[in-house]
């Protein structure tokens, strides 16, 4: 069974996001070994300077690196990344398992995204869309796409 780790900066506060996350975690528990880790988002002033934002991103990156599983594939969620279809994501996850890389880790940054060093070191930068979404919504979208990917590989009717 493939191990999927999702490292997220920021905690879900809204009940509707937490409920959606719980549903997908439950569904995915039958399909993969999912580990979802929330890391604290750095506090910034109301109107932070670029230097303050950069420092916060560096601190968040350090926290992510401490929790990053060894080996496997690292995928950074980034608006400037490469978009892909649900079928392509399913194929890429299956290819990881076939290639002897059963560990797949997704990185989701906070309000200001991920530090550039994390994105550079990732095996792949994945974009959900050229549109900007709240990072909490991106987490739910990723979990749904992971579930969809496993359903595609199983050949179920979930993906029509």
pLDDT tens digit sequence for 147-158: 999 999 999 988
Contacts of 92 (CB under 8 A, 6+ apart): 84, 124
Residue 78 has a pLDDT of 93
Three-state SS at 159: coil
Average pLDDT taken over every residue of the chain: 93
| Amino acid 99: pLDDT | 85
Instruction: Enter the pTM of the model.
Output: 0.94
- Residue ranges and CATH numbers for the domains of the chain are 3-154 (3.40.1280.10)
Q: Which residues contact 52 (CB under 8 A, 6 or more apart)?
A: 44, 45
- Extract the tokens encoding 131: 């549109």
Give dist(CA 78, CA 55) in Å, integer: 19
Q: pLDDT (tens digit, 9 = 90+) per residue, 37-96?
A: 999 999 999 999 999 999 999 999 999 999 999 888 999 999 999 999 999 999 999 999
Helix (H) or strand (E) holding 6: strand 3-9
Beta-carbon count within 10 A of 58 CB: 14
């Amino acid at each position: 069974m493939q191990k999927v780790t999702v490292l997220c900066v920021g905690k879900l506060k809204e009940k509707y996001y937490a409920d959606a996350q719980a549903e997908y975690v439950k569904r995915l528990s039958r399909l993969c070994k999912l580990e979802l880790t929330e890391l604290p988002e750095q506090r910034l002033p109301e109107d932070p300077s670029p230097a303050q934002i950069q420092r916060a991103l560096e601190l968040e990156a350090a926290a992510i690196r401490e929790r990053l599983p060894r080996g496997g594939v690292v995928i950074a969620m980034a608006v400037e990344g490469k978009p892909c279809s649900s079928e392509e994501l399913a194929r890429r996850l299956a290819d990881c398992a076939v290639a002897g890389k059963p560990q797949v880790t997704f990185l989701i940054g906070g309000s200001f995204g991920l530090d550039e060093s994390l994105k550079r070191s990732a095996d792949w930068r994945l974009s959900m869309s050229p549109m900007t979404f709240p990072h909490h919504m991106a987490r739910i979208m990723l979990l749904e796409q992971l579930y969809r990917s496993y359903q595609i590989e199983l050949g179920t009717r979930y993906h029509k």
